Each structure stands twice: as structure tokens, then as C-alpha cells.
């Protein structure tokens, strides 16, 4: 989510979110836990009377206006925002996490900044992250993306999960969660995903390398998303050179490029007129929507009245869910398909990059995989149950290159106390997980790639705060596709590591990254693959 989009005025937040004001008494606000804010003793996340014991007395709670913030000219709406980024400073929009980290060094674990005219709060303490999440309402409020709002309105399309709030959001989130949020259900896709991975591995054998990364994984992730959404192979991996597939992948690539450009733009001019950049995004979106609509239509026509119980069929599940109209199903399928490509492809890319950069870790992973994962053929439904090092490698890769530019945002429907400062309801709170992941207060040796820190037997694991690393978010508004994304990554990485020794070409051992929609390599790069 763009941190530079024109923030909506608090008055625009639904009235249900404005039940508290800055003048609320200290007793009525959600207060932080002390010192450790233990995860194990967590209260129910939706308890309306949730409260946390605080060592601070009511008088110690400081008003919002006293929270540290950039002063002088940097506090001027719009102008102050512009002056704190490139070309006036070294901080570019695509690495806004570095700008935020500089604020942490200057102001401490909490600060407020105008973006571009509204006050945003930035928190760098996982205890504040936990307090924020536990103060969330039953239907967590998140500001929608103006880019999607404008496009959906212009095309008269149903809004997707990300653009909805309240009960309107839950009517899509609930069936999506039941459909793709259960590991036991998704495990039925493992045999089919294994075939996709085998085809991908065979393509790699022909070339001996993975070039132009992350592009090859966009192909792989698109094929996997097609299996999930349409219950069929799209042929992108099995026939990557076909003109139709090549053209479609170009549009997919363009879509995410244009989306990232518009998302991170300092001012969203497209809200008032169709800018050249928006028109490119609009064209790419039309093609992507047409593609998903076509395959959804075909899949619906091919649906059996009673699908094989051993198969997972998302479309059938959604269409037979009470209240799910064809328009809502189409909207959800578009969101799942679109959301399952960019994030997953880049996550695969960085995980394999780290394994190539640290060959000793790669070999340790291979030793775990060797007796359990077949070089070719289906992976069983319990195939990843005991592969703890594989899962630790993914967690550590996410920590090293956090997938989203800051972490996540929340807009609470009541006042909350963060780091002893009162934060009024309706304020955008930015949870700066990216910064926490590289902070030695929360992770020993933060600059060292160390998957062992995530293993239960490792002492480092005990020192990390559970809310200092949440790449898929937390609570009912976390990433609905988390389970499928993890499964798809495990399948691809395990098959590649089982079949090849991965290495980086000389001189390419330091791949930089930037943020677009998600973290992505700053420049395309190559991985060498040597058959085992």
C-alpha cells in the first residue's frame, strides 16, 4: 500500500470508526502491555472490552501533539512530504523503508509524519504492533487503494477484498478464507503443483540457468494461480515459448510494472484525470481481467455437479456458497489470481538467491529434502509436514527482504496508547515491520542469514518477538492466500534444490532490491543450475 497516496480526511472514515476523539479519557483507550506483551496469554482479538495493563499512570500518557515529528518546513502539508524524499534527499519512494528507518534513528520507536497532509503514525516497537492488532475491530478497517477504486468504478466491476471494509468485506473474506485458508484442503493440490514444478525443472535442464529473474517465476506462479482459480493448467510452464503465452506474460509483467509505478506515485493524479501512466495500467488491467473472466467462464461451464471429493475445486466451492453471486465470485477469482503471482514469484526469487549466496545453507536444506522429496513425481499431502529447515529458510528470506515496503497499516475505530502516546481513532498507523526485522534488539546478528534462528531448538528463536516478523499480516485481515503461497513456494524451491546445485555468476553476489507492489530485484539477474 502506498505511503504517499493522498490520505483521506478522518471525516471520510465511516462514523463507526469515529466513536472516540482525542478528548477521550485515558481509561477509555486501549493501553499497551508492559515489557514483554506475551503472545501466549493473548486476549481474544475481537473482545470489545480489550484492555492491557500499563505501568504508566493516566497522567503519564502524552497527548498526540507531543509525539516526535519532523519540525519546521518538514511539517508543512504536501511541501514537507516532498522535501523529505528524492531529489531533496537520498530517499527514493521505492525504498521508503529507508526513509522510515532514518526517522526511527532520529525520533525513536514512534513518530508522526504528514503524508502528504494527514498525520500518519509510524511505530517501530513490536509491542506497539501487538497493541494495535489487538485493538482492531471485528472487521478491521484498511484504506483502499485509489488505483483500484478508480479502475473498478470506471469499469463497473465489483470491488475486491482489498477495497472493501466492514460487513461488505467479510462477505468476500469469509468464503475466501474457507476456500483457500485451510492447509488440509490445499494439500489436495500438491500432486498437480508437483507436475507444474517438474515441468519447470525440465525447462531448467535445457538451459542450465534461470535468466531474467524474477520473470521465470512469474510464469510458474501464473500457472499455479491458474490451477487454484480455474482448476486447470494454463500451459504457461509446459509451453512457455508459445506466442499466446508469451503475449499474456508480457501483459502480466506490464500490469505489475504499471501498478507499482502508480501505487508509489507521490500524488495520485489519476483520481482526477486519466494520466498516461494510468492509461497503461488501465489497458493492462483490461487484458488481465478479460483473461481471468474468460477462464472463469470456461471453468464454470466445465464444472461437474458433484466434483471428485479428492480434488480441490475453488470455483465450485464459491459458486455453491450462499450469498456468492457470479459477480462476487468473479471479483474474488480475479483478486486471488492477481494476488498469487507477483508476491509469490518474488518470494521464490529471493529465497533461491539467498540459497545460492549461502551454499552451506543450501546443502543443509538439500540434506533435509533428499530422503523426503522426489526429484520427479508427486509430493504427498503430508510432504512438508516435517521439513522444518525448508520453512525456516523461507522465514529468514522474508526477514532479510521483507515482502512489503513497510509492513502493514491499520486505522482503528477507537483511541489507543502506543509508546505512552495517545493516538486518536481514525489515524493511519504504519507498522514498520521491515525496520524491526533488521533491528538487533529483536534479532541477534540481524545482518546474518541464519535460518536456524527459526528452529525451535535454537536459542535465538526465544529472543525474537512474535510481532517483529509477520510477512503475511495478522488477524482476520491477514493475507488470505498465505497457505497457498507458502505451499507453492515450498514445492518449487524443494524441487529445484533437489535437482540442482544453485550458484550465482561471478560478480553478481549482491542483488539489490526495491519496492514496487512487493520487494523485487532492482535489476534482472541470473542463477546457474548444475544438475546433482
C-alpha–C-alpha distance, residues 3 and 340, integer Å? 22
Q: What is the pLDDT of residue 474?
A: 94
Q: What is the pLDDT of residue 462?
A: 62
Q: What is the pLDDT of residue 309?
A: 61
- Indicate the helix (H) or strand (E) that contains 261: helix 243-263
- Indicate the helix (H) or strand (E) that contains 337: helix 326-339
Would you report the helix, strand and coil content of the chain in percent, each value rounded to 5? 50, 10, 40
C-alpha–C-alpha distance, residues 142 and 133, integer Å? 12
Residue segments in the chain with a per-residue pLDDT below the cut of 70: 1-59, 304-310, 460-462
**Distance, C-alpha 199 to centroid of its chain:** 27
Domain with CATH 1.10.630.10 in the chain: 157-401+471-531
Residues contacting residue 409 through CB under 8 Å, at least 6 positions apart: 1, 142, 143, 428, 429, 430, 431
- Classify 385 in phi/psi space as left (phi over 0), alpha (psi -120 to 50) or beta: alpha
Q: What is the pLDDT of residue 21?
A: 36
Task: Return the ∠ at Cα 485 (arms to 482 and 487), rounded to 5°.
Answer: 105
- Edge to edge, the sheet with strand 408-411 lists 110-114, 119-123, 428-431, 408-411
Question: Residue 479, annotated ligand binder?
Answer: yes
C-alpha–C-alpha distance, residues 132 and 32, integer Å? 9
**Distance, C-alpha 226 to centroid of its chain:** 19
Q: How many CB atoms lie within 10 A of CB 45?
A: 16
Q: What is the pLDDT of residue 307?
A: 62
* Rg, C-alpha atoms of the chain: 23
Closest of 123, 157, 163 to residue 142, by C-alpha: 163
Q: What is the pLDDT of residue 5?
A: 31
Task: Return the ∠ at Cα 189 (arms to 188 and 191), rounded to 5°.
Answer: 95
Q: SS3 for 405? A: coil
Cis bond leading into 87, ω under 30°?
yes
* Three cell numbers, residue 323: 450469498
For cell 496469554, name the residue.
41
Q: What is the pLDDT of residue 47?
A: 32
Q: What is the pLDDT of residue 163?
A: 87
Residues contacting residue 347 through CB under 8 Å, at least 6 positions apart: 394, 397, 398, 403, 485, 489, 518
Q: What is the pLDDT of residue 36?
A: 41
Q: Are 337 and 226 in contact (CB under 8 A)?
A: yes
Torsion angle defined by CA atoms of residues 440, 443, 444 and 447, in that order, rounded to the nearest 10 degrees: -70
Sequence length of the chain is 532
Q: What is the pLDDT of residue 260?
A: 86
Note the CATH number of domain 157-401+471-531.
1.10.630.10
Q: What is the pLDDT of residue 34?
A: 41
Q: What is the pLDDT of residue 306?
A: 58
Tell me phi and psi for residue 63, to 5 degrees.
-70, 155
Q: What is the pLDDT of residue 310?
A: 67
Alpha-helical (H) ranges within 340-474 are: 342-357, 359-369, 388-400, 433-437, 459-463
Q: Are 218 and 519 in contact (CB under 8 A)?
A: no
Q: Are 443 and 437 in contact (CB under 8 A)?
A: yes
Amino acid at each position: 500500500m502506498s505511503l504517499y497516496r493522498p490520505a483521506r480526511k478522518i471525516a471520510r472514515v465511516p462514523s463507526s470508526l469515529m466513536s472516540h476523539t482525542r478528548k477521550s479519557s485515558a481509561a477509555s483507550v486501549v493501553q499497551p502491555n508492559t515489557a514483554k506483551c506475551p503472545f501466549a496469554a493473548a486476549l481474544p482479538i475481537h473482545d470489545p472490552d480489550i484492555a492491557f495493563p500499563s505501568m504508566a499512570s493516566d497522567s503519564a500518557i502524552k497527548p498526540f501533539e507531543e509525539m516526535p515529528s519532523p519540525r519546521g518546513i518538514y511539517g508543512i502539508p504536501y511541501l514537507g512530504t516532498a522535501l523529505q524524499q528524492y531529489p531533496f534527499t537520498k530517499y527514493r519512494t521505492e525504498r521508503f523503508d529507508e526513509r522510515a528507518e532514518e526517522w526511527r534513528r532520529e525520533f525513536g520507536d514512534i513518530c508522526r509524519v504528514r503524508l502528504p497532509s494527514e498525520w500518519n503514525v509510524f511505530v517501530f516497537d513490536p509491542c506497539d504492533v501487538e497493541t494495535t492488532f489487538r485493538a482492531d475491530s471485528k472487521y478491521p478497517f484498511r484504506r483502499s487503494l485509489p488505483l483500484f477504486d478508480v479502475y473498478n468504478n470506471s469499469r463497473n466491476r465489483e470491488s475486491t477484498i482489498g477495497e472493501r471494509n466492514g460487513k461488505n468485506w467479510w462477505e468476500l473474506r469469509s468464503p475466501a478464507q474457507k476456500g483457500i485458508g485451510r492447509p488440509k484442503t490445499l494439500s489436495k493440490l500438491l500432486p498437480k503443483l508437483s507436475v507444474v514444478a517438474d515441468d519447470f525443472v525440465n525447462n531448467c535442464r535445457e538451459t542450465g540457468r534461470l535468466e531474467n529473474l524474477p520473470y521465470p517465476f512469474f510464469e510458474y506462479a501464473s500457472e499455479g494461480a491458474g490451477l487454484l482459480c480455474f482448476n486447470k493448467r494454463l500451459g504457461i510452464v509446459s509451453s512457455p515459448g508459445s506466442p499466446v503465452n508469451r503475449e499474456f506474460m508480457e501483459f502480466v509483467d506490464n500490469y505489475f510494472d504499471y501498478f507499482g509505478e502508480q501505487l508509489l506515485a507521490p500524488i495520485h493524479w489519476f483520481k482526477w484525470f486519466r494520466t498516461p501512466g494510468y492509461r497503461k495500467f488501465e489497458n493492462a488491467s483490461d487484458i488481465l481481467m478479460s483473461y481471468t473472466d474468460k477462464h472463469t467462464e470456461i471453468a464454470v461451464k466445465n464444472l461437474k455437479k458433484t466434483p471428485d471429493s479428492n480434488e480441490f475445486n475453488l470455483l465450485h466451492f464459491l459458486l455453491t456458497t450462499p450469498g456468492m453471486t457470479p459477480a462476487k465470485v468473479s471479483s474474488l477469482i480475479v483478486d486471488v489470481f492477481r494476488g498469487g503471482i507477483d508476491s509469490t514469484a518474488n518470494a521464490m526469487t529471493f529465497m533461491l538467491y539467498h540459497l545460492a549466496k549461502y551454499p552451506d545453507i543450501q546443502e543443509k536444506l538439500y540434506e533435509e529434502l533428499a530422503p523426503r522429496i522426489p526429484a520427479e513425481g508427486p509430493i504427498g499431502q503430508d510432504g512438508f509436514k516435517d521439513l522444518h529447515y525448508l520453512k525456516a529458510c523461507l522465514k529468514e528470506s522474508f526477514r532479510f527482504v521483507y515482502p512489503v515496503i513497510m509492513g502493514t497499516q491499520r486505522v482503528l475505530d477507537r483511541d489507543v496508547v502506543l509508546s505512552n502516546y495517545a493516538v486518536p481513532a481514525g489515524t493511519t498507523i504504519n507498522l514498520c515491520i521491515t525496520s524491526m526485522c533488521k533491528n538487533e534488539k529483536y534479532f541477534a546478528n540481524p545482518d546474518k542469514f541464519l535460518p536456524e534462528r527459526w528452529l525451535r531448538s535454537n536459542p535465538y528463536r526465544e529472543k525474537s518477538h512474535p510481532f517483529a516478523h509477520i510477512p503475511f499480516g495478522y488477524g482476520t485481515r491477514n493475507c488470505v492466500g498465505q497457505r497457498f503461497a507458502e505451499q507453492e513456494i515450498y514445492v518449487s524451491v524443494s524441487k529445484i534444490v533437489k535437482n540442482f546445485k544453485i550458484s550465482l555468476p561471478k560478480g553478481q553476489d549482491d542483488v539489490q532490491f526495491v519496492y514496487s507492489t512487493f520487494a523485487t530485484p532492482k535489476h534482472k539477474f541470473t542463477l546457474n543450475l548444475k544438475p546433482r
